[in-house]
């Protein structure tokens, strides 16, 4: 019997791309293995293991894009042909993509303890213990919401310019949200743990879950927050989400390119803060949810300075937005999955370290408010509003009574100008966050030192 060689995935993808007359073509194939556990109160509501394989084709002809997703590797050439025909229907301009050297690379994560080697029973046992650790703190706990998740994702990427990448990533996370109640007064706190390299990073965190439950209960007796303008000190978690939500989205190239008003505001070289202010984004930051070697267009990730010494110096790009704006691609084209085309997205966004300590900030504040962590929020262009998880009054340079129901809001640009002290220790929020945009979600990292803001608007009673 004649033995025939089975074509490799790389050969199959390369063959599917050959012979088409598009300006640009790419195929992305994803293989994912994941586990989820979801708790409602003390009860396990859902447990599941999933394995998926799928992919997508993108084609560009005269500036118009075609996109086809699939769940089978059969008939790849026909899928590429369909994407090309779609692109021809909408293409009316010149295809303009910033040049990127085509890389060939194979990225395998270094794992201390792979979550996929841990049994589902052990994962459930750990989460059961965390849920009970929360409930054990007080009879005033109303309910808990908890969840566990892990995923191993391998992405194979090839394009018509000669790039070929195989990139694997891993992530494990656990969260417990605790709600305490006293009549109509409901307060909450949370504990979140995650790692991109080690299952054991989320193990043995019972004390932190218990502390989160205790904080929720303590907030029931906290005084309602006052409203008005105050000097505010933000902890790294709140300051990091402020940098991401309030400023990071305004730095995304597609938002700037498509919004004339935003183009007039986000002019490179314009001053947005004092010389002590530095904000950057980068997929090269180690161990964060938004860390990876190449984005979903095959562009190497990098550190991109957005504000340097108070001046706007950069923004985030895909190859298309970079090409249209005459700037360099930054490795910020990201897709939630193979079912989606990449969008310009942040990776790990952070405020750079300054030279003050938290104690110095408090001591230099005769009257103010210290805000810790955040819950929910919204941004509309330069206007923002975030709920603070916990807060304390500052009186005569010392922390005083705890507060509840605090909201930090205002104008982004005014707030950036009013940052007058920045801590010396940059802290990354454990667990990072999940950023939504254009109907897609993507994991991101957020970091900051403590920061002090003058004349910040606080909402309260």
As a 3-state breakdown, the chain gives helix, strand, coil percent values, each rounded to 5, of 25, 45, 35
Q: Name which CATH class applies to 9-219.
A: alpha beta
User: How many residues in total does the chain contain?
Assistant: 461
Per-residue tokens: 352: 């750079």
- DSSP letter string over 177-216? EEEEEETTEEEEEEEEEEESSBGGGGSS-HHHHHHHHHHH
Band (432; pLDDT cuts 50, 70, 90): confident
pLDDT at 137: 97
Per-residue pLDDT reduced to its tens digit, 275-321: 999 999 999 988 999 999 999 999 999 999 999 999 999 999 999 99
Classify burial at 92, counting beta carbons within 10 Å of its beta carbon; exposed 0-12, middle 13-18, buried 19 or more.
Answer: exposed
Does residue 77 have a pLDDT over 50?
yes
Per-residue pLDDT reduced to its tens digit, 158-207: 999 999 999 999 999 999 999 999 999 999 999 999 999 999 999 999 99
DSSP 250: G
**Location of each CATH 3.30.2290.10 domain in the chain:** 9-219
- DSSP letter string over 36-53? EEEEETTEEEEEEEEEEE
- DSSP letter string over 400-441? EEEEES-EEEEEHHHHHHTEEEEBS--EEPTT-EEEEETTEE
| Model pTM score | 0.95
DSSP 246: I
Q: Round to whole Å and give the CA distance between 461 and 459.
A: 7
- Would you say 435 and 244 are in contact if contact means Cβ atoms under 8 Å apart? yes
Q: Round to whole Å and give the CA distance between 253 and 297.
A: 15
Q: Round to whole Å and give the CA distance between 418 and 273.
A: 7
Band (430; pLDDT cuts 50, 70, 90): confident
Per-residue pLDDT reduced to its tens digit, 244-283: 988 999 999 999 999 999 999 999 999 999 999 999 999 9
Other beta carbons within 10 Å of 73: 16
pLDDT at 286: 85
Per-residue tokens: 108: 């395998």
Per residue in 322-358, is it b (16+ CB within 10 Å) or e — as a string? bbbbeebbbbbbbbbbbebbbbbbbbbbbbbbbebeb
- Would you say 243 and 234 are in contact if contact means Cβ atoms under 8 Å apart? no
């Amino acid at each position: 019997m004649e033995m025939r060689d089975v074509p490799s995935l790389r050969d199959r993808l390369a063959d599917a791309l050959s012979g088409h007359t598009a300006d640009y073509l790419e195929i992305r194939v994803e293989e994912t293995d994941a586990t989820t556990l979801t708790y409602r109160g003390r009860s396990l509501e859902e447990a599941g293991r999933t394995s998926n394989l799928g992919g997508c084709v993108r084609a560009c002809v005269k500036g118009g894009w075609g996109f086809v997703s699939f769940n089978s590797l059969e008939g790849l050439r026909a899928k590429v042909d369909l994407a090309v025909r779609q692109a021809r229907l909408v293409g009316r301009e010149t295809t303009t993509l910033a040049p990127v050297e085509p890389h060939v690379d194979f990225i395998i994560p270094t794992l201390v303890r792979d979550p996929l080697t841990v049994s589902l029973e052990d994962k459930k046992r750990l989460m059961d213990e965390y849920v009970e650790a929360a409930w054990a703190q007080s009879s005033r706990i109303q309910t808990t919401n908890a969840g566990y998740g892990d995923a191993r994702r391998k992405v194979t990427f090839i394009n018509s310019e000669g790039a070929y990448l195989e990139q694997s990533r891993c992530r494990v996370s656990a969260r417990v949200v605790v709600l305490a109640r006293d009549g109509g007064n409901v307060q909450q706190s949370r504990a979140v743990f995650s790692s991109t390299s080690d299952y054991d990073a989320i193990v043995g965190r019972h004390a932190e879950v218990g502390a989160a439950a205790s904080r929720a209960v303590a907030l029931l007796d906290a005084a309602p927050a006052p409203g008005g303008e105050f000097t505010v000190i933000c902890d790294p978690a709140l300051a990091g989400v402020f940098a991401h939500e309030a400023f990071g989205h305004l730095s995304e190239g597609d938002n700037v390119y498509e919004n004339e008003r935003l183009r007039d505001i986000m002019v490179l070289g314009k001053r947005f803060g004092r010389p002590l202010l530095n904000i950057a984004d980068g997929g090269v930051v180690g161990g964060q949810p938004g860390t990876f070697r190449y984005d979903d267009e095959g562009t190497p990730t990098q550190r991109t300075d957005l504000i340097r010494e108070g001046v706007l110096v950069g923004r985030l790009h895909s190859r298309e937005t970079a090409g249209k704006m005459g700037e360099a691609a930054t490795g910020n084209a990201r897709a939630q999955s193979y079912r989606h085309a990449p969008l310009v997205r942040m990776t790990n966004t952070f405020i750079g370290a300054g030279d003050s300590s938290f104690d110095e900030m408090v001591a230099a504040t005769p009257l103010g408010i210290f805000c810790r962590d955040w819950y929910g929020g919204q941004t509309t262009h330069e206007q923002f509003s975030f709920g603070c998880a916990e807060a304390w009054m500052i009186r005569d340079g010392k922390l005083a009574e705890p507060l509840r129901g605090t909201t930090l809001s205002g104008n982004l640009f005014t707030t950036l100008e009013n940052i007058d002290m920045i801590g010396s220790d940059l802290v990354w929020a454990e667990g990072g966050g999940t950023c939504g945009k254009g109907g897609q979600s993507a994991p991101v990292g957020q970091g900051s030192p403590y920061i002090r803001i003058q004349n910040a608007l606080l909402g309260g009673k």
